[in-house]
Structure 1
């Protein structure tokens, strides 16, 4: 079943168009308006309409349907002289889907944004910014923290010098109780950008710095008096990342 055909709408119909089409056709095919054999047909059509609406109002299900649909031919109602333009209209790229995801996220449509960015990642999983955006969306929606971490790890694998993703991983690993991993990402971020505004310099003047000291293998490191420990650093970092610091 093609839900767009059932609701008699194009594949680029807006959520408002989908809702309006459903209500219009549901009213037209409501079984209470028919009797006999016509009522049986109306019941079947009514069920199809409900199923189509259920699919298309869910951003994730809608994207899955669109992915399976063949290219839409030029409609018969295309104005004369516009056929070539319609045929030449390019399909949306991963970048287009990612832009739509960012737009939906900025508008507060978090679920839709997640479905859109995941679709972009399926099309092109080699863009670190897509994974970073997915992590941001999951953070906003209160999703599984381990899924957030997975998205950020994908981002830093593709862009090892992505300081913000390293800092976010540090705070999330601290929340998960994985202190060693948190410290590793914090030190990596400091090595890449020691003057990053979200990093607090913890080494005393003239010292080697926390990253250099921590790099000495086989030695137990102690925190100098008056210098914050890793947990305090991460708490401070989380405040800076969230704007609460």
Structure 2
């Protein structure tokens, strides 16, 4: 993965920006903050951040990477920043993170994916607390289709900042299913169902015993044990259906 994207910074980031981004993300993903299965992922992210910072703090390596970046993205970001400077010289106000995010969305809608990615990274660098910035980054990375784990990373940040973001939970469920991480996929799907049971992307399966009307027998201990595998199977079916809906194959 490109070191600039690992540190969530644009290709023209200054050495000070690179250092600040590294310290911010290293603190966020420090393994000591995680336990269980998530600790291994945090350790991998932490190593990835350290490698990216080690590369970009070297002026020669940084310049070589900048020269390899897609020209449309680099040129477009440079032009946008030049416009910003012109605006400042004319007495206007400096662009906000929301301005950069809006331009990223416009670039994405027009098919300028490289530029959109660079612009949203710039918005996140200015203000990384907005969940919809990270959700947009995930959407842009999904279009690239090169790094599904980077998509997951962006969506995880989105739901950490906005725990009731149903769409991001559903997207995470579908992507974790693709990665073969069924338990995490089911967890996000279940969270989405708890937040918004009537969400249009969620199916509402009808229990085999009917709608739970009066007179329906209450299962005993044996019935509860049998219900658990059935519930798990239902979640798996929903994940498959959800993936079809998100990819347009359903």
Q: Given the two structures, how large is their TM-score scaled by the length of structure 1?
A: 0.61
Match for residue 199 of structure 1 among 202, 206, 210: 202
- Aligned pairs for 1:29-68 (under 5 A) are 57-60=71-74, 63=77
Residue 222 (structure 2) pairs with residue 244 (structure 1) = no
Partner in structure 2 of residue 16 of structure 1: none
Q: CA deviation at 1:228?
A: 5.4
- Aligned pairs for 1:86-97 (under 5 A) are 86-97=89-100
- Point out which structure has higher relative CO (alpha carbons under 8 A, 6+ apart): 2
Contact 2:77/2:115 (8 A) holds in 1? no
Query: Equivalent residue of 1:92, what SS?
Result: coil
Partner in structure 1 of residue 230 of structure 2: 223
Contact 1:63/1:119 (8 A) holds in 2? no
Q: CA deviation at 1:139?
A: 0.5
Q: Distance in 2 between matches of 1:103 and 1:54?
A: 24
Match for residue 168 of structure 2 among 160, 165, 170: 165
Q: CA deviation at 1:108?
A: 0.6
Partner in structure 2 of residue 120 of structure 1: 123
Query: Equivalent residue of 1:222, what SS?
Result: helix
Q: Distance in 2 between matches of 1:60 and 1:223?
A: 52
Count of matched residue pairs: 170
Q: Distance in 2 between matches of 1:56 and 1:91?
A: 26
Q: Given the two structures, how large is their TM-score scaled by the length of structure 2?
A: 0.60
Contact 1:132/1:152 (8 A) holds in 2? yes
Contact 1:102/1:113 (8 A) holds in 2? yes
Contact 2:76/2:115 (8 A) holds in 1? no
Q: CA deviation at 1:179?
A: 0.7
Deviations 1:80-134 (A, max 9, x none): xxxxx95321121111110110001000111111111011000010000000000
Distance 1:193-1:59 versus aligned 2 partners, 3 A rule: same
Which protein has the bigger helix share? 2
Deviations 1:5-24 (A, max 9, x none): xxxxxxxxxxxxxxxxxxxx
Distance 1:183-1:59 versus aligned 2 partners, 3 A rule: same
Q: CA deviation at 1:240?
A: 1.6
Partner in structure 2 of residue 109 of structure 1: 112
